[in-house]
Amino acid sequence: VSALSRRERGRMSAERGGGGAGDGVGWTPEPAGAGACPVKYDVAVVGGGLVGATVACALGQQGLTVAVVEGRPPAPAPGWDLNPRVSAITRASERILRRLEVWDDILESQSGVFRKMYVWDQPGHGEIRFDAAEIAEPTLGYIIENHRLEHALNRHLDEIETVAIYPPAVTS
């Protein structure tokens, strides 16, 4: 499902009464053209990257109508090529993504586990070490390519009827 069809599905859902609690609070985008009906959302999320998409998933699962205003085109389906932009996903972030039912999609992709971490400052006066075994956890977290995280979150957003994505405008 493309971003445009997600937007249209979300717009139709809001027009059916899925948006707003009648309290006058919410975000209403400008009508698309003459005669278009404005749509009201409970929440507008500006930016559909890792944080924005995660927030939109969580709010949409709670039944809120959410408009995600994104300035970039959706992340393409990742291939098996490596991408240098990665994130360290901690156990706490893993738990959030599990609750959102996104984690299994993320684990289908390439990821690296980290069990130990050593952090020091440049002059060498301070250091700290972390070890998953010391806290009885199997890992401290995972290193995952950002585009794989974004793709998994976008696939999940496709399934949430109350979330609408407003992609960048197409200009010719």
**pLDDT for 118-153, tens place per residue?**
988 887 788 999 999 999 999 999 999 888 899 899
Q: Give the chain as a 3 state SS string.
A: CCHHHHHHHHHHHHHHHHCCCCCCCCECCCCCCCCCCCCCECEEEECCCHHHHHHHHHHHHCCCCEEEECCCCCCCCCCCCCCCCEEEEEHHHHHHHHHCCCHHHHHCCCEEEECEEEEECCCCCCEEEEEHHHHCCCCCEEEEEHHHHHHHHHHHHHCCCCEEEECCCCCC
Q: Point out the least confidently predicted range of 16-25, 47-56, 69-78, 128-137.
A: 16-25
pLDDT at 71 over 70: yes
pLDDT at 115 over 50: yes
pLDDT of amino acid 12? 40
pTM greater than 0.75 = no
